[in-house]
């Protein structure tokens, strides 16, 4: 490894990152900016416009005008679909550039960032097809009545996205919000504004009308807060921490806004003695160390049946030690740099807590040869008690807790023993057990003998502290539209008659 191996900087980086409001790139009204860091060196590489209430007001006004007066909400589904397909084509054609910028800005390994860019294109393609195929209910009582459903866009959608896989998660909200005819104001995470700044050019090139898409950068407590509290934004879709979700819930309540919130997770991976152990180890290694462990659906608690526990821990720890930590731009890298020094400090504090709560069998600190940057060696704790903080609290990094169990009942109690309920992974070759356990586990999504492979038609969301509502497939269409029931009498009007006498 050469001394300058960590100094890879993409060509043609912007000299500043601005907002995009009503078809123009603009600075903040008050001229304020914030620093954006490169996670490999933690040096400032660009300044981004720091949005406040005044900037949100301008963006919402532009989006509201485009909704009230512009063509987008009134276009036929097929016309909007063509624009979304063009967006997908452009994203696909620029996947290498997008991945390079995403990897540089977020610390994600380049190979995984490339996958996220392609998934972003697929999100647009999926919703482009879905709105053309969309059918709504009609109910007929022969000779008496027809009832049908009108589906209508709602207005300005406020989209607040996180810093892990930012471009893909932005597409996951932008796709259905735009497909259904809404206009949007996007507030991307302040740690990772770089890839979001590319949407404006992509949308312009694809033919999205002016004012339909608006972007305001800034801190959550400034720009995000103003977006949530804006009276002309009837919808908020948020992905992020559960605590932030609680604040948004409270702030949106006076306006009775539509809310879709995908929040934190502390998902169990349950490995029974009859499981294919090698497949389970492969999947659970990937499940917590891919995307640098910065993923809401990470299987960060592994529950293993006692008969195979020692073998599992030994093999898992050995494989975790072989996971390649490296610079994000290196195709061989499996775990890159965490997004930001603040987050690095949080993850490292949990590593130290874990040393007092479990048996450290892999990792436990900064990997050798990485003296600067936000690098954490894949870290594995065994024999972790269910009341341990590393068992209960979301770490959001490459850190995993392994806990033994004896019976199915104990496994279920351990799996459900956190405030979260986003995902669960179950490894067993007993068909009845697999289905019954899936039914009983408190999780919005369950994978049986599988890692996290999603069909875009399925609902995405969690229970308990992991979220509110679902998106994905028709659930996204439902969230971003109003459904209006229309009733027509075909025969004699059957009214009770008041006031005849």
CA distance 63 to 57: 10
CA distance 41 to 105: 11
Burial of 91: CB neighbours in 10 Å, binned 0-12, 13-18, 19+: buried
Alpha-helical (H) ranges within 323-458 are 341-355, 389-392, 408-415, 431-440
| Residue in 219, 103, 122 with CA at minimum distance from that of residue 164 | 103
Give first-to-last CA distance, the chain, whole Å: 97
What's the length of the chain? 501
Q: Examine the residue annotation and report whether 262 is marked as an active-site residue of this protein.
A: yes
CA distance 466 to 441: 14
Burial of 97: CB neighbours in 10 Å, binned 0-12, 13-18, 19+: middle
110-133 and 166-179 helices, crossing angle to 10°: 10
Which is catalytic among the residues 102, 170, 262, 394?
A: 262
The two tokens of residue 339 are 């997004």
CA distance 393 to 125: 36
Residue 97 CB partners (closer than 8 Å, separation 6+): 10
CA distance 343 to 106: 12
Residue 85 CB partners (closer than 8 Å, separation 6+): 124, 125, 128
DSSP tag of 393: S
Which residues does the annotation mark as catalytic? Answer: 262
């Amino acid at each position: 490894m050469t001394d300058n191996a960590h100094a890879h900087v993409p060509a043609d980086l912007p000299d500043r990152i601005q907002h995009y409001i009503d078809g123009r790139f603009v600075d903040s009204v008050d001229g304020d900016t914030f620093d954006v860091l490169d996670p490999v060196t933690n040096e400032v590489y660009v300044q981004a416009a720091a949005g406040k209430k005044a900037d949100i007001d301008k963006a919402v006004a532009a989006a509201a005008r485009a909704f009230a007066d512009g063509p987008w909400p009134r276009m036929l589904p097929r016309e909007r679909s063509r624009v979304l397909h063009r967006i997908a084509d452009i994203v696909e054609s620029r996947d290498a550039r997008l991945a390079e910028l995403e990897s540089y800005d977020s610390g994600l390994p380049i190979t995984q960032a490339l996958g996220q860019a392609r998934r972003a294109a697929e999100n647009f393609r999926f919703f482009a097809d879905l709105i053309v195929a969309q059918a709504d209910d009609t109910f007929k009582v022969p000779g008496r009545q027809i009832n049908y459903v009108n589906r209508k866009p709602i207005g300005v959608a406020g989209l607040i996205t996180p810093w892990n896989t930012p471009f893909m998660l932005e597409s996951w909200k932008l796709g259905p919000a735009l497909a259904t005819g809404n206009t949007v104001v996007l507030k991307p995470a302040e740690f990772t504004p770089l890839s979001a700044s590319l949407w404006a050019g992509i949308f312009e090139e694809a033919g999205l009308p002016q004012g339909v898409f608006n972007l305001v950068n800034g801190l959550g407590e400034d720009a995000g807060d103003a977006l949530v509290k804006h009276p002309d934004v009837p919808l908020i879709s948020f992905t992020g921490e559960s605590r932030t979700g609680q604040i948004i819930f409270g702030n949106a309540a006076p306006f009775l806004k539509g809310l879709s919130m995908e929040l934190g997770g502390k998902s169990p991976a349950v490995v029974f003695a009859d499981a294919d152990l090698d497949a389970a180890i492969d999947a659970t290694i990937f499940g917590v160390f891919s995307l640098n462990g910065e993923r809401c659906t990470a299987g960060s608690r592994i529950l293993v049946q006692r008969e195979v526990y020692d073998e599992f821990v030994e093999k898992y720890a050995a494989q975790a030690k072989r996971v390649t930590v490296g610079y994000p731009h290196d195709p061989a890298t499996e775990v890159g740099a965490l997004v930001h020094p603040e987050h690095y400090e949080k993850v490292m504090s949990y590593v130290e807590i874990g040393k007092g709560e479990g048996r450290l069998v892999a990792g436990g600190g900064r990997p050798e040869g990485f003296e600067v940057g936000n690098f954490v060696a894949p870290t594995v704790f065994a024999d972790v008690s269910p009341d341990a903080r590393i068992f209960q609290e979301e770490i959001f990094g490459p850190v995993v807790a392994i806990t033994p169990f004896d019976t199915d009942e104990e496994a279920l109690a351990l799996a459900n023993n956190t405030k979260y309920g986003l995902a669960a992974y179950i490894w067993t070759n007993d068909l009845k057990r697999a289905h019954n356990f899936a039914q009983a586990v408190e999780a919005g999504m369950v994978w049986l003998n599988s890692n996290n492979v999603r069909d875009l038609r399925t609902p995405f969301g969690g229970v308990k502290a992991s979220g509110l509502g679902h998106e994905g497939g028709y659930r996204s269409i439902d969230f971003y539209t109003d459904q209006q029931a229309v009733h027509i009498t075909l025969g004699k009007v059957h009214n009770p008659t008041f006031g005849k006498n």
